[in-house]
Amino acid sequence: MERRVLPHSGLEVAPLCLGTMTFGTPVAQAEAVSLTQRALDLGINFIDTANMYEGYTRRIGSPGGISEEILGQALRGRREQAVVATKVGMKIGPTEADEGLSRAHIRREIERSLARLGTDTIDLYYMHRPYPAVPLEESVGAFQELLAEGKARAWGISNFSAAQTAEVLQVCDANGWRRPAAVQPAYSLLKRDIEQDLLPLCQREELAVIPYQVLQGGVLSGKYQHGEPPPPGSRQVEKPEWTMVLSDELFERLGPIEAEAHARGRTLLQHALLSLLEQPAVVSLIIGVKRVEQIEAAVQALG
Ligand SMILES: NC(=O)c1ccc[n+]([C@@H]2O[C@H](COP(=O)([O-])OP(=O)(O)OC[C@H]3O[C@@H](n4cnc5c(N)ncnc54)[C@H](OP(=O)(O)O)[C@@H]3O)[C@@H](O)[C@H]2O)c1
């Protein structure tokens, strides 16, 4: 599979990145290990996790860690084949010290992530969300320490608006610090707001965009039909709050997207992936999968 450069990071990644938010449940450990190894065999060298991920059992303030632990198992003996991204910032415990982007929290959490992943360095370490309660200088400064110590090779930001991203760049430039290499926003053919401001900013500033929920939780795979019940075992059945309501309005929005896919000789899945990759700043798409066939379908969709 093709490799794409993450500017200013020394990292080269596949155009698909394996998402691991479902590791634990519904993807149990043994299946998650096979899925990860199949992804590596197919040439997908980029894997996305977060300290908070623990599958469908996730609730606000639960401790997380399960996805990173499973990924650590899956990468035993193959760590050098993968570019591993993880994140810090979401709530992973009951107290104020268990969330956010203070220096102390970041330093505590990277040690935990390194241990769970069984590695000495995180290839791409993200701020999972903006956290205005802590001065940006403190958070970005802590990330610079991790780069200097070799605990992270590159860093990124997730769920930051265009204005918040510009502020991060300003803080880096003012202090002579390394800028983020990547941003991770939600982006799909059903959720295109970043095209207004964040995408042009990233293109101008050479920041790699690594979108998540590119299939909108499976809605853009083409498996849900208007007026029919969702297929058994699909996310609509098992975890509806992690996808969109199958309303009349949603199918009205899907109509023109399907028509355009058809006009371009693509399946809906192909169109959902290729349209995003055609955007110049987009380097790799995070793809959530529950079964090996889904990762194979994504690889095939890219041709
Ligand atoms: N930075 C953030 O704040 C953030 C937030 C959310 C997610 N993420 C990252 O993005 C990743 C993906 O998120 P996501 O899983 O919510 O979104 P997604 O990629 O849009 O949806 C993935 C789901 O779609 C279904 N699917 C995938 N391929 C399919 C195919 N070929 N045919 C039919 N169904 C298919 C599967 O669900 P079913 O088979 O169960 O229907 C799969 O679990 C996560 O794992 C995580 O790494 C990041």
CATH number of 136's domain: 3.20.20.100
In angstroms, rounded to a whole number, what is the distance separating the alpha carbons of residues 40 and 47?
A: 9
- Domains in the chain, number: 1
pLDDT at residue 248 in the model: 96
Domain assignment present for residue 234? The answer is no
Phi, psi of 282 (to 5 degrees): -80, 125
State pLDDT tens for residues 19-62: 999 999 999 999 999 999 999 999 999 999 999 999 999 988 89
* Distance (Å) from CA 107 to ligand 1 centroid: 29
Question: Does ligand 1 come within 6 angstroms of the Cβ of 269?
Answer: yes
In angstroms, rounded to a whole number, what is the distance separating the alpha carbons of residues 185 and 157?
A: 9
Domain assignment present for residue 242? The answer is no
Domain assignment present for residue 185? The answer is yes
Strands 4-6 vs 208-209: parallel, antiparallel or unpaired: unpaired
Distance of CA 103 to the CA centre of its chain: 23
Helix, strand, or coil here: 98?
Answer: helix
Question: Does ligand 1 come within 6 angstroms of the Cβ of 294?
Answer: yes
Question: Does ligand 1 come within 6 angstroms of the Cβ of 99?
Answer: no
Domain assignment present for residue 259? The answer is no
Q: Which of 53, 125, 126, 224 is catalytic?
A: 53
Question: Does ligand 1 come within 6 angstroms of the Cβ of 272?
Answer: no
State pLDDT tens for residues 262-286: 999 999 999 999 999 999 999 999 9
In angstroms, rounded to a whole number, what is the distance separating the alpha carbons of residues 23 and 16?
A: 18
Tell me whether residue 125 is one of the annotated catalytic residues: no
In angstroms, rounded to a whole number, what is the distance separating the alpha carbons of residues 115 and 122?
A: 11
Domain assignment present for residue 168? The answer is yes
Q: Are 161 and 198 in contact (CB under 8 A)?
A: yes
What single-letter amino acid sits at 300?
Q
Q: Are 196 and 218 in contact (CB under 8 A)?
A: no
Domain assignment present for residue 162? The answer is yes
128: containing domain: 4-221+271-302
> By alpha-carbon position, which residue is closest to atom 12 of ligand 1?
288
What stretches of the chain adopt beta strand conformation (E)? 4-6, 11-13, 16-19, 46-48, 83-88, 122-127, 152-158, 182-184, 208-209, 285-288
In angstroms, rounded to a whole number, what is the distance separating the alpha carbons of residues 286 and 214?
A: 7
pLDDT at residue 8 in the model: 86
Domain assignment present for residue 208? The answer is yes
Residue 292's nearest CA partner among 85, 82, 32 is: 32
Angle at 237 between CA 294 and CA 222, to 5 degrees: 45
Average pLDDT by stretches of 10, the chain with 303 residues:
93 98 97 97 98 94 96 97 98 94 98 98 98 98 98 98 98 98 98 98 97 98 95 96 95 98 98 97 97 97 94
Domain assignment present for residue 250? The answer is no
Strands 11-13 vs 4-6: parallel, antiparallel or unpaired: antiparallel
DSSP 230: P
From the CA of 287, give the closest atom in ligand 1. Answer: 19
